[in-house]
Copies of this chain bind each other. A is one copy, B any other.
Amino acid sequence: MNKCEQCIVRQFSSLKALTKDELVKMAECKTSYTIKKGEAIFEEGEVTNGIYCVKDGVCKMTKLSANGKDQIVKLIKAGELLGQRSMISDEPANLSAIALEDMEVCFIPKAEVMQFFNENNQFSMNVMKTICNDLKDADDQMVAMAQKTVKERLAETLLYLEDTFGKNTDGTLHIQLSREELAGMIGTATESCIRLLSEFNKNEYIELIGKKIAIKDRNKLKRLAD
Q: Is the CB of B148 within 8 A of A145?
A: no
Residue A89 at the chain B interface, CB threshold 8 Å: yes
Docked complex Cα distance between A144 and B138 (Å) = 12
List B contacts of A188 (CB < 8 A).
Answer: 146
Residue A85 at the chain B interface, CB threshold 8 Å: yes
Contact string against B for A residues 130-170, beta-carbon threshold 8 Å, 1 for contact and 0 otherwise? 01111110111111111110000000000000000000000
**Which single member of B66, B73, B127, B138 contacts A226 (CB below 8 Å)?**
B66
Size bracket, chain A contacts: 35 or more
Q: Is the CB of A147 within 8 A of B89?
A: no
Q: Is the CB of B143 within 8 A of A63?
A: yes
List B contacts of A73 (CB < 8 A).
Answer: 139, 142-143
Residue A121 at the chain B interface, CB threshold 8 Å: yes
A114 nearest CB neighbor, chain B only: B125
Contact string against B for A residues 93-137, beta-carbon threshold 8 Å, 1 for contact and 0 otherwise? 011000000000000000000000010010010011101111110
Q: Is the CB of B145 within 8 A of A65?
A: no
Mark A residues whose CB is within 8 Å of B: 63, 65-67, 69, 71, 73, 85, 88-89, 91, 94-95, 118, 121, 124, 127-129, 131-136, 138-148, 186-188, 226
